[in-house]
Structures are given as structure tokens and as C-alpha cells.
């Protein structure tokens, strides 16, 4: 097989394979670890769903990356009003070294969080550079974003 075809096939498999969390993560607001400042905001959220099962919150975000080969895709928490019943995240990833290939690339971030404060929030919001999408875990449907939570530095 020609090297160019191998590269294209490998890229297609990478783009088509969603990034998943192998295990549940600790609820981010209980963590004292700051977000990695090298992670860049992704471009645009295209779909968001969230489910609650016992004390585990699972979030699936479909988002566009500005170029192929973003790695370490993750949701980083935004600190906002603890009384607004909204938990907000940023969709972030590590940009590739080579930014010459400016092709919008759809990616998926899947994360499951344990020890979530079930009953103390109603909405999950996820922000990207161009937009925000919200999802009501209480009603099981998409909602408008309304949080004033600033991004983490």
C-alpha cells in the first residue's frame, strides 16, 4: 500500500473513533487539580446529551475541532454560581504540532463522572469557541445556555 494511502486510512480511523473515558472520573468540582492551560477550546458544539444513573453522570459531546489530530479531548469545569443548578464545562483538547491542515474535524468526547451531587443540578452546559449547548438532565432534553460561568484560566 502506498504511504499516502496508509496515512489517509489511519487519519480516517482516528477521526471516526470516538475518544472515550475508560473509567468514571471524579466529579470535577471536587478536584483540586487545575485544568491544563495547554488545552485549547474546540470550535463548535454540534450535539450534547447527558444521563444520570445513581450517582454517575455521563456526558456525550459531539464537537468540531479546528484541525485534525487534536488529542487529550476532555471537558474542563467552569466555576459559576453554585445556586444556579447548572454545571458548565468547556470542550477542550491539545492542538497538534502541525497546524497547516486547517480542516474542521468532528470529534466526540465521552465522560462519566462519579459522586455527582444528584438533585443539586438540573442542567449541563458545554461551551466551545463559537457556541454553547445545554442539556436538562431533569427533563431529558436540550435547553438554551444560561450560565454566567467564566472559563477557567
The per-residue pLDDT for range 62-87, each reduced to its tens digit, is 999 999 999 999 999 988 887 888 99
Low-confidence stretches of the chain (pLDDT < 70) are 1-22, 152-153
How many CB atoms are closer than 10 A to CB 92? 25
Nearest one of 41, 138, 40, 125 to 88, comparing CA atoms: 125
Q: Is residue 76 part of a domain?
A: yes
Please report the pLDDT score of residue 143 as a whole number: 95
The whole domain housing 37 covers 19-143
Sequence-distant (≥ 6) Cβ neighbours of residue 16 within 8 angstroms: none
pTM for this model (two decimals):
0.80
Please report the pLDDT score of residue 128 as a whole number: 96
Q: Is residue 34 part of a domain?
A: yes
In the chain, the number of structural domains is 1
Q: Is residue 7 part of a domain?
A: no
Q: Is residue 55 part of a domain?
A: yes
Please report the pLDDT score of residue 22 as a whole number: 47
Q: Is residue 4 part of a domain?
A: no
Please report the pLDDT score of residue 150 as a whole number: 76
Q: Is residue 150 part of a domain?
A: no
Amino acid at each position: 500500500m502506498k504511504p499516502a494511502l496508509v496515512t489517509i486510512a489511519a487519519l480516517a480511523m482516528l477521526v471516526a473513533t470516538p475518544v472515550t473515558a475508560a473509567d468514571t472520573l471524579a466529579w470535577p468540582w471536587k478536584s483540586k487539580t487545575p485544568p491544563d492551560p495547554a488545552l485549547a477550546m474546540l470550535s463548535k458544539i454540534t450535539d450534547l446529551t447527558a444521563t444520570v444513573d445513581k450517582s454517575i453522570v455521563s456526558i456525550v459531546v459531539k464537537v468540531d475541532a479546528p484541525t485534525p489530530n487534536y488529542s487529550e479531548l476532555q471537558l474542563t469545569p467552569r466555576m459559576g454560581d453554585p445556586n444556579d443548578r447548572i454545571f458548565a464545562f468547556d470542550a477542550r483538547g491539545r492542538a497538534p504540532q502541525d497546524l497547516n491542515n486547517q480542516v474542521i474535524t468532528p470529534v466526540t468526547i465521552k465522560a462519566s463522572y462519579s459522586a455527582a451531587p444528584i438533585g443539586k443540578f438540573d442542567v449541563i452546559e458545554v461551551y466551545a469557541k463559537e457556541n454553547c449547548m445545554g442539556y436538562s438532565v431533569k427533563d431529558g432534553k436540550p435547553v438554551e445556555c444560561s450560565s454566567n460561568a467564566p472559563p477557567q484560566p
